[in-house]
């Protein structure tokens, strides 16, 4: 279930959670404790987080369950940090990397217990059952707090998020069922940073210090007819590690022609190398123009938990 963007509703009909900066995934846990983490597209990502395989069974006390949540990497202050998740995404999870960048699963919803589906239960009840089910002493699995307006006002939550470097706040209707695969107004997210998921359709070669790699990525998103629409490019925000990783993953995706439905502006297409639009990334941007161009973009990283078809034009 996905949230819509917008101002946070300020009423007694919503619960409020922090918006965590990680990779979304459902955890499916058998009564034996065996666990599998899948992305929104259904891809199995369990192998990316081997340290989480054994935390669910003890935490659930032998109950089979399906959880919705976020895999996050915590910084020294104990807060999720997307850049750390990128280090995990770009490399094999060796023991050294797992020690340097450990991950934790933040469970914020309970979709099934045993053979009983909880999808039709209201959010408030699912949240209460989740807190009762998960043993708090379990390492690697956290049930983060949620609030009502009686606890704290939404604008105070946003101020706290800004003060402590948290990505934002999500409001969820207390009486709402869980609607898999649906972007529903029952959930509203308010992010403090303007970010957008984008599909990579090509790249331009770099110059100077970036000679031998790329200077910018050409970005797009799909319209309602399934056509890839050009949204602009991004040429900043890349670490040397990210440049090397992107060059490696883009090389086998090369194609002869542009994947964009309409012609890319000549100054942006000059010297471009086109690729199959099979990778999703995320950028920070300052504004979106009326003709659908992202301005003042900066690269955040690849999103292996997303699939291109999900990335729609604004």
The mean predicted confidence, pLDDT, of the chain is 92
The tokens for 66 are: 């399906």
Q: Which CATH number fits domain 1-18+145-192: 3.30.1490.70, 3.30.70.270, 2.60.40.10, 3.40.50.2300?
A: 3.30.1490.70
The tokens 């490019």 sit on which residue? 233
Catalytic hit among 19, 96, 172, 189: 19
Supply the pLDDT for residue 137.
64
Inter-residue long-range contacts of 127-131, CB under 8 Å, 24+ positions, other chains counted: 127/15, 130/67
The tokens 């007694």 sit on which residue? 12
Share of the chain above pLDDT 90, in %: 70
DSSP 63: -
Supply the pLDDT for residue 257.
94
Supply the pLDDT for residue 211.
76
196 phi/psi in degrees, rounded to 5: -150, 140
96 is catalytic: no
DSSP 56: H
Domain 21-143 classification at class level: alpha beta
Residue 252 has pLDDT above 70, yes or no: yes
Does 2.40.50.140 match the CATH number of domain 195-310? yes
Parallel/antiparallel/unpaired status of strands 116-117 and 147-148? unpaired
The residue ranges of every structural domain in the chain are 1-18+145-192, 21-143, 195-310
Task: Render pLDDT for 221-233 as a digit per residue (tens, 0 to 9).
Answer: 999 999 999 999 9
């Amino acid at each position: 279930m996905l949230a819509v963007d917008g101002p946070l509703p300020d009423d007694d009909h919503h619960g409020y959670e922090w918006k965590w900066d990680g990779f979304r995934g459902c955890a499916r846990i058998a009564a034996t404790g065996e666990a599998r983490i899948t992305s929104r597209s259904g891809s199995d990502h369990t192998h990316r987080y081997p340290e989480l395989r054994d935390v669910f069974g003890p935490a659930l006390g032998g109950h089979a369950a399906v959880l919705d949540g976020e895999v996050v990497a915590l910084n020294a202050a104990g807060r999720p940090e997307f850049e750390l998740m990128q280090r995990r995404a770009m490399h094999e999870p060796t023991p050294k990397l797992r020690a340097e960048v450990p991950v934790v699963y933040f469970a914020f919803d309970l979709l099934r217990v045993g053979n009983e589906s909880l999808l039709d239960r209201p959010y408030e009840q699912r949240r209460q059952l989740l807190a009762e089910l998960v043993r708090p002493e379990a390492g690697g699995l956290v049930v983060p707090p949620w609030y009502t307006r009686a606890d704290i006002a939404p604008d105070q939550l946003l101020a706290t998020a800004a003060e402590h470097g948290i990505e934002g706040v999500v409001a969820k209707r207390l009486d709402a069922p869980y609607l898999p695969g649906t972007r529903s107004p029952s959930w509203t997210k308010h992010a403090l940073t303007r970010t957008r998921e984008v599909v990579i359709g090509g790249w331009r070669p770099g110059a100077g210090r970036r000679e031998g790699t790329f200077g910018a990525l050409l970005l797009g998103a799909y319209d309602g007819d399934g056509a890839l629409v050009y949204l602009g490019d991004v040429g900043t925000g890349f670490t040397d590690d990210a440049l090397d990783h992107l060059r490696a993953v883009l090389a086998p995706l090369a194609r002869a022609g542009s994947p964009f439905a309409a012609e890319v502006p000549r100054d942006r297409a000059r010297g471009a190398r086109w690729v199959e639009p099979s990778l999703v990334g995320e950028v920070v941007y300052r504004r979106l123009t009326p003709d659908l161009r992202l301005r003042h973009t900066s690269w955040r990283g690849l999103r292996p938990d997303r699939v291109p078809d999900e990335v729609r034009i604004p």
